[in-house]
Amino acid sequence: MMLENIKMSWMNIAHNKMRSFLTILGIVIGVASIIALITIVKGATGEVTEQMSSLGADKVTVQVQGTPLKQGLLESDIGELEKIEHVTGVSPTLSGKTSIAYSKNVMEDISIQGENQVHFRKNEDLVEEGRAINKLDIENKNRVVLIGSGIEKELFWGKDPVGENIQIAGVNFQVIGTLKESDSYSNDSTNETVVMPYTTAMGFLQTGSVSKADIYMDDPKNSDEVTSGVEKVMNQAFNYKNEGYSIINMGDMISSINDITDMMTLMLGGIASISLVVGGIGIMNMMLVSVTERTAEIGLRKALGAEPKRIQQQFLFESVFLSLFGGLIGLVTGVAIAFVVCSIMGTSFALSASTILLAIGFSAAIGILFGFAPARKASQLHPIDALRSN
């Protein structure tokens, strides 16, 4: 009997093709909107999260504004930061501006950056040729540098700079390596930068402290514990004057971004679901019209012994079929729209199984919910009244 009901439901839908299509159009739009919006948002936010992660989810950054009594971090402070549990390395940074010369060529307003071996160990793709700064360079305050691609092209066109000596503000430094070319639009471009050991830079820039330090940890899960340890060291270093420094936890920032994107996804999904509700109302309207049109058929079936639950089952099947067909068409449409938009935006196409199940499951639920009342109305028709209405 169930197979017969399914067959009759399908035949009725096929017999009214245009009406059926117009009825499921709301479901198509709703499902397509849910899948397209959620997929596009996930792709875009995934790109943002990936870029944030590339900045270092495994590190905590300390920026020092200084106080009247203390301008920056001393080497002893850096040593205390290195002792914090779960910390695998500390990378202090200094920066300044100067002029450099090689042979008779001079470049003005060049950035000087002081780093240590931890910086290069955590950023292995920085060096193009030669070697990175090592621990001995830090301890011995060696006058060695790595130069950016812009400096290499300007001063050493057609020549290998590694092993050559350059003058920085009149002081000789040996070039031990070159840096990979950075995006010219990048905020942290190193193309016009000279990198030297931070201990050498402290003397060269005539400062005894550093204004920034990246603290790397063994696992991003320990970020809260490491941040707490960093706060303790910084409070002791700056006599509990919080305005003297700021701590940036990249892990917390990424977590906050993920929370915001999850909220946006739910909000967009909720907005798109309104179309599904409208589509469900359309299905209910069609099914009520269908019950009215087929009153005589219902009365005849009941007179021949059809049980009310069988009548209800048939109309419920029709409603669910309409909703599921709309869901499938909406699925294909939504995936196509999301793929095109993601390709244009240059973001990843992140279609998840949960998104598909949510959209299809919701459309099926709409069919059952809005199809129940018409199906129940059909099942409760009295056979004599139904046949008389013909």
pLDDT digits (tens, 9 = 90+) for 242-273: 777 888 877 666 667 777 777 777 777 677 67
| Domain-terminating residue out of 243, 271, 300 | 243
273 with 176, same domain: the answer is no
Q: Which residue has the higher pLDDT, 344 or 282?
A: 344
Report the C-alpha gap between 36 and 29 in whole angstroms.
10
The yes-or-no verdict on residue 173 having pLDDT over 90 is: yes
268 with 353, same domain: the answer is yes
Report the C-alpha gap between 232 and 214 in whole angstroms.
16
186 with 296, same domain: the answer is no
| CB of 257 closer than 8 Å to CB of 55 | no
Residue 57 lies in a domain: no
Residue 59 lies in a domain: no
Report the C-alpha gap between 175 and 131 in whole angstroms.
10
203 with 231, same domain: the answer is yes
- The total of structural domains in the chain comes to 2
166 with 272, same domain: the answer is no
Domain residues for 41?
A: 1-52+255-388
Q: Which residue has the higher pLDDT, 358 or 186?
A: 358
| Domain-terminating residue out of 243, 270, 292 | 243
278 with 302, same domain: the answer is yes
Distance from first CA to last CA of the chain, Å, rounded? 26
Residue 291 lies in a domain: yes
The yes-or-no verdict on residue 200 having pLDDT over 60 is: yes
**For position 187, what pLDDT does the model report?**
46
**For position 14, what pLDDT does the model report?**
62
Q: Which residue has the higher pLDDT, 361 or 188?
A: 361
pLDDT tier at 9, thresholds 50, 70, 90: low
104 with 215, same domain: the answer is yes
Residue 248 lies in a domain: no
Q: Residue 203's CB: how many other CB atoms inside 10 A?
A: 13
Residue 43 lies in a domain: yes
The yes-or-no verdict on residue 385 having pLDDT over 60 is: no
216 with 359, same domain: the answer is no
Residue 249 lies in a domain: no
pLDDT tier at 186, thresholds 50, 70, 90: very low
**For position 137, what pLDDT does the model report?**
94
Q: Name 27's Cβ contacts closer than 8 Å, sequence gap at least 6.
A: 276, 279, 280, 282, 283, 322, 323, 326, 327, 330, 363, 366
pLDDT tier at 135, thresholds 50, 70, 90: very high
Report the C-alpha gap between 86 and 214 in whole angstroms.
14
Residue 128 lies in a domain: yes
Counting beta carbons within 10 angstroms of the beta carbon of residue 331, is it exposed (0 to 12), middle (13 to 18) or buried (19 or more)? buried
- Mean pLDDT, residues 297-322: 69
197 with 284, same domain: the answer is no
Residue 223 lies in a domain: yes
pLDDT tier at 167, thresholds 50, 70, 90: very high
| Domain-terminating residue out of 192, 210, 243 | 243
Please give the C-alpha separations between residue 355 and each of 25, 92, 135, 210, 265, in angstroms, as whole numbers: 20, 44, 50, 49, 10
39 with 75, same domain: the answer is no
What mean pLDDT value characterizes the chain? 79
- Mean pLDDT, residues 146-175: 90
267 with 347, same domain: the answer is yes
- Mean pLDDT, residues 105-116: 90
**For position 326, what pLDDT does the model report?**
82
221 with 338, same domain: the answer is no
Closest CA to 252 of 286, 277, 291, 226: 226
Question: Which span out of 214-218, 291-295, 316-320 was modeled with the highest average pLDDT?
Answer: 214-218
Q: Which residue has the higher pLDDT, 371 or 4?
A: 371
Its sign, for the CA torsion 152, 157, 162, 168, is negative
**For position 368, what pLDDT does the model report?**
75
